[in-house]
Structure formats: C-alpha cells, structure tokens
C-alpha cells in the first residue's frame, strides 16, 4: 500500500486574516497591553489563545471595554450600531474588517431603500452576517440554506436583490440563488461575487484532491465558516471521510485504517504552523510522502487599517 498526502494550495491565511492579525500585533507593540478586541479577531482557537497570552483581551461588546481605551474590530466586520456604541464610550477604534466584507456592507448601503428588500444568503447568527445586515436594519432578510431559499416570503410589493456572506460554499450558494431566481425572476444580482477569492480558491483546491482521498483533514476551528465548508465540499466531491481539527493531537488513529491517500488543507484563519504540525504527525504514521496540489496562485495583500497606519507613522516621526 503506498501512503501519501495531497496538500491543497492555496490553504491557510487569506489577505483579510493576515491584515487583522498583524493589526492586533502592531497595536500591542504601539499602544502596549492590554489591547481590547471585540469578538475573536479571526475564528481560530490557536490565534486567539496566542494573542491572549500576549496581552489581548477579547470582549463580546464594546461596553466591556474601559472608557477611552483602544478596541480593535474583528475581520468579520461590525454594524454602524457598534461604531456608534464605541463612539459613545469614547473608545479609540481600529477597524480590522476585511475589505471584502466592507464591500458587501457597501452593497447593502447602495441597495437599501424603502422600495427594496435585500435577501442576504448566509448563516444566521454569524458575526459577519449580523454586521452586514446591521447596515440597513429592517431592510435585510437572511436566507440560511436551501430550505429557507425555498420558503422565504419577501415583503409583498418590494423589489428584491440577493447578496451573500463571503465564506459560503460556492456550489450551495449557487443552488440557493437558482431557487430564488426561479421563485422571484425579477430579483437583481449583486454587481460582483460576494464569496471572497480566498473561500473560492480553498474550495477549488480541495475539490481537485477530494476524489482521490480516502481521508481529508481540514485544519480549522468549528466556528470558522470557511473551514467547515471545506469539510462539506471534500465530502461532496468524493472524499471517503473528512474531519475538522484545530490541532494535530485531535487526529484519531482509527482514521488511518485502510487509508492510502490523505488530503490536507486549512481554513483562511489558520496559521501554517498548525499544518506543519499535522504533516509531522502524519509522517510519524507512515504518511511522509507529501505532494502539493495547487489550484491557483494568490498574491493579494491589504494595507493595515488606516487609523493604525496613521499612528504608526506618527510614532516614527
């Protein structure tokens, strides 16, 4: 039996996560600990616990931050109500919202008017969806999954437009859109794709590997939407089994029984060190032969949040 690992590329950190994590690290250097962050800066256990050890205090809401202190908003974005609450407490804010999430916020602002209802395809309760919907309270309806696409009853007499969360399954979203278009042929399309490049590329890479894989291991946290989608996509495209793990130590020996080919990937909020640990663990179990399967190259980088850039510049002078 020839054992091998097919390693998906691209995998791991996207430009939005990299920017958000560096924004917190630079804030720690510049302002000193503690730095407050509203919600998990990105949905990854390891990243959050590493930053906590360095002096970051994660809070759920801005009213937990001392008046006048600095708070960083996470990559998932916040609604205008959160900005207002922070201003009311005189907080200094560093907004690490991913620019690709901001793009969807801007679409909501552009389409929201008294005649239009926005159908936002996404997961109910996810921070990104709460922030995006909060741009136009009362004018956005969430469509969470195919069943809701089949059953949602928009407000009669309204024009409709659909938008999406950035980290969904591309295929399932297109099915939801097809259902909505079938039911409401006049529904308008967004100006461009809302599912971000990183989500799409990581799904393409695992799709190329899954049909050959007896087992796929996705490194990522359970609250990471794009990571969970990678497990689903792997199974949909033929992987015999697929699991999500935060750490290599969570891999179970019984997963290896009868397995020749293991596919490995990681979500957009996962540092590469966790994939390296997993590959070492697999090598110890006879899977030392690793071949990278690349779907595409990624070169996108985002500048740091403007408030932080300004402070870094003044600190240098």
Binding residue ranges = 14, 43, 76, 98, 126, 166, 196, 224-226, 269
Question: Should residue 96 be labelled a site residue for ligand SF4 when binding is judged by CB under 6 A?
Answer: no
Phi, psi for 116 (deg, rounded to 5): -115, 140
Nearest residue to the partner ligand SF4, using Cβ: 16
Nearest distance, CB of residue 101 and ligand SF4, angstroms: 5
Per CB under 6 A, which region of 12-20, 129-137, 169-177, 211-219 contacts ligand SF4? 12-20
Residue 128 falls in the annotated catalytic set: yes
Catalytic-labelled residue, pool 117, 127, 128, 135: 128
CA distance 139 to 113: 8
> What residue has token string 């996404």?
122
Measure CA of the first residue to CA of the last residue in the chain; give whole Å: 63
Residues in binding site for dimethylallyl diphosphate: 43, 76, 126, 224-226, 269
- Size of residue set near ligand SF4 by CB under 6 A: 15
H-type helices in the chain, by residue range?
15-31, 45-53, 80-88, 99-111, 127-133, 146-151, 170-183, 197-209, 225-236, 272-284, 306-316
CA distance 186 to 180: 10
Q: Which helix (H) or strand (E) holds 173?
A: helix 170-183
Per CB under 6 A, which region of 62-70, 105-113, 195-203, 285-293 contacts ligand SF4? 195-203
Residue 49 in tokens: 């616990």
Among 5, 35, 41, 101, binds ligand SF4 (CB under 6 A): 101
Among 14, 118, 270, 295, binds ligand SF4 (CB under 6 A): 14
Nearer to ligand SF4, 44 or 62 (CB): 44
Residue 304 in tokens: 């740091």
Per CB under 6 A, which region of 4-12, 95-103, 130-138, 176-184 contacts ligand SF4? 95-103
Could you say which residues in the range 232-271 bind ligand SF4, by CB under 6 A?
268
In 10 A of CB 246, how many CB atoms?
17
CA distance 100 to 301: 12
Nearest distance, CB of residue 72 and ligand SF4, angstroms: 14
Residues annotated catalytic, as ranges: 128
């Amino acid at each position: 039996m020839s054992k091998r690992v097919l390693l998906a590329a691209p995998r791991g950190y996207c430009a939005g996560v990299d920017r958000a994590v560096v924004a917190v690290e630079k804030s720690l250097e510049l302002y000193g600990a503690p730095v407050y962050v509203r919600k998990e800066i990105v949905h990854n256990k390891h990243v959050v616990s590493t930053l906590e050890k360095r002096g970051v205090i994660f809070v759920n809401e801005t009213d937990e931050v001392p008046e006048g202190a600095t708070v960083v908003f996470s990559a998932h974005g916040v609604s205008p109500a959160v900005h207002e609450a922070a201003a009311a407490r005189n907080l200094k804010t560093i907004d690490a919202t991913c620019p690709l999430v901001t793009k969807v916020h801007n679409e909501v602002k552009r389409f929201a008017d008294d005649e239009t209802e926005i159908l936002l395809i996404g997961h109910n309760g996810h921070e990104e969806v709460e922030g995006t919907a909060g741009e136009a309270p009362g004018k956005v309806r969430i469509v969470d999954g195919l069943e809701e696409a089949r059953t949602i009853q928009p407000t009669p007499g309204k024009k409709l437009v659909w938008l999406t969360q950035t980290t969904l399954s591309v295929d399932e979203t297109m099915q939801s859109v097809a259902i909505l278009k079938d039911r409401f042929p006049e529904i308008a399309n967004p100006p461009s794709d809302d599912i971000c490049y990183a989500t799409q590329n990581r799904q393409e890479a695992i799709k190329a590997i899954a049909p050959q894989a007896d087992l796929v291991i996705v490194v990522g946290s359970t609250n990471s939407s794009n990571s969970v989608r990678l497990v689903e996509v792997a199974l949909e495209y033929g992987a015999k089994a697929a699991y999500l793990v935060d750490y290599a130590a969570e891999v179970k020996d019984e997963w290896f029984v009868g397995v020749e080919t293991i596919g490995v990937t990681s979500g957009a909020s996962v540092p590469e060190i966790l994939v390296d640990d997993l590959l070492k663990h697999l090598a110890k179990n006879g899977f030392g032969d690793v071949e990278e399967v690349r779907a595409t190259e990624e070169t996108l980088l985002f500048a740091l949040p403007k408030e932080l850039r300004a402070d870094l510049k003044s600190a240098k002078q």
